[in-house]
Amino acid sequence: MKPIAITLGDPAGIGPETIAKAFRDAPDATQGCFVAGDVGTLRRASALVSGPGQPTLPVALIASPAELANVPPRCIPVLQITELLAPVPYGLVSALAGNVAADCVLWASRAALRGELAALVTAPLHKEALAAAGLPYPGHTELLQFEAAAYLGKSLQEVPVRMMLANNELRTVLVSIHMSLRQAIEAVTFDNVLQTLRITDRSVGAALGRAPRIGVAGLNPHAGEGGLFGREEIDTIIPTIQAARAEGLDVHGPYAPDTVFMRARAKNGQPGEFDVVVAMYHDQGLIPVKYLGVEQGVNVTLGLPLVRTSPDHGTAFDIAGTGVADASSLIAALRMARKLSGFQA
C-alpha cells in the first residue's frame, strides 16, 4: 500500500511533539506513516516527550517514501523536506516557521495528487505565520484547494471544497470557512448552500456506504422564526433544501441552530437523528463538535481528489515546548485517514 504522510505543522507549535507522541503511543495508527518535515525538529520533539527513565524514540531519516519499509519498529521516519539550520523558538510567530510548515504541506499535497500517497494528515500550522511568510492562504483548506485546482488544470470555483469536523458523536460541514462573520452571512447564497449539500451527500455518503441523512442549521436564532428574526431561511435556505431534495438528497431543515446539533448527536451507542449537520458558518458548526471533546475531533477536507485529515486544534503556542500537549486528536485523524483511504499496512 502507498504510505500516509504526516506534515510537520508549525515547528514553533505543538505539532511536532504530538507527532512524536503518536508514534510513541499509537503504533497501530502510525504504521505505514512517515513525517514530511525536518529531522532536527522531530528529534527535539522526541526528546521532549520522553518520560523519566524512558529512551528517546529514535528518528530515522529516509530519502524517499519507498524506504519506509526498511525503517525498524519504534522509530519515527522523516523525509527531509526543509532543513532548519537552528531550532525555532517555541511559541513565537515567525515567517521562517510559516514557510517551513507550508513547504511540508505543499510537498505532501503534490505527492498525494500524483497518487504517491494513500492519504495526508496535517499537523496544525499558524495562520499568522503563513501571513508573515507572505503566503496567500488563510489555512490548510485553501492551500490544498489551490494545489488541487492547479494540478487538475481547473479554476478554484471548479474545485469546491468544504470543511467537515467530526468525532464519534457528531459531524458538521460548513458552508463557509475562514472569513469574517459579516462575509460569512453574505456567503449564505443558494449556490453556496446547494454546493455544500451536494459535497456533503457525496463525501459523507462514500464514507458511510449509503446516502446520509442531512440536517441543516438555520442562520438566524430559531431559524428565523418565520421571518421575525431574518429572512435568509425563507428566501435562501428553504428553497435550497427543496432543490436538493428534488435531486434525491435526504436533506431536512432548516432547524434552530441551538437544537439541531443535539438532535444529530449520537450517544449511548444510539445514532442521532441526522448523520451530519450542515452549518452556515465556521463557529456555528465547530463549537458544538469541539465542546464535545477537542481531543477526539478530526478535521476532514471534503471535495479534494485526495484524503486529507487533521486534528481539530491549533498550534497551542501557550503550551508548546512543555511536553504536555495531547496527541489524541492527531491519533484520531490518523485513524480517520486510514479508514477513508482504505489503508492496510
Write out 135-181 in H/E/C secondary structure.
CCCCCHHHHHHHHHHHHHCCCHHHCCCEEEEECCCCEEEECCCCCCH
Element (H, E) at 60: strand 59-62
Q: What is the pLDDT of residue 137?
A: 85
Q: What is the pLDDT of residue 292?
A: 86
- All structural domains of the chain: 1-153+314-345 (3.40.718.10), 160-303 (3.40.718.10)
Average pLDDT over residues 131-159: 92
Q: Which range has the worst mean pLDDT, 98-102, 192-196, 293-297?
A: 293-297
User: At residue 146, what are phi and psi to the nearest 5 degrees?
Assistant: -60, -45
Q: What is the pLDDT of residue 125?
A: 94
Average pLDDT score over the chain: 93
Judged against a pLDDT cut of 80, whether residue 345 lies above it is answered with: no
Judged against a pLDDT cut of 90, whether residue 13 lies above it is answered with: yes
Q: What is the pLDDT of residue 294?
A: 65
Task: Tell me the C-alpha distance between 42 and 71, whole Å.
Answer: 16
Q: What is the pLDDT of residues 175-224, one digit of tens each?
A: 998 889 999 999 999 999 999 999 999 999 988 889 999 999 999 999 98
Q: Return the DSSP state at 54.
A: P
Q: What is the pLDDT of residue 150?
A: 96
- Name every residue whose Cβ is closer than 8 Å to that of residue 153 and which is 6 or more positions away in sequence: none
Average pLDDT over residues 77-97: 93
Cell numbers that stand for 83 in this block: 532543513
DSSP 176-215: --SS-HHHHHHT--HHHHHHHHHHHHHHHHHHHTS---EE
Judged against a pLDDT cut of 90, whether residue 161 lies above it is answered with: yes
- Name every residue whose Cβ is closer than 8 Å to that of residue 144 and which is 6 or more positions away in sequence: 105, 109, 161, 301, 304, 306, 308
- Name every residue whose Cβ is closer than 8 Å to that of residue 236 and which is 6 or more positions away in sequence: 188, 189, 190, 193
Cell numbers that stand for 69 in this block: 519499509
Work out the pLDDT band at 19, boundaries 50, 70, 90: very high
Q: What is the pLDDT of residue 315?
A: 95
Task: Tell me the C-alpha distance between 330 and 313, whole Å.
Answer: 9
Angle at 206 between CA 257 and CA 290, to 5 degrees: 35
Q: What is the pLDDT of residues 299-330, one digit of tens each?
A: 999 999 999 999 988 999 999 999 999 999 99
- CA proximity to 253, closest of 218, 201, 286: 218
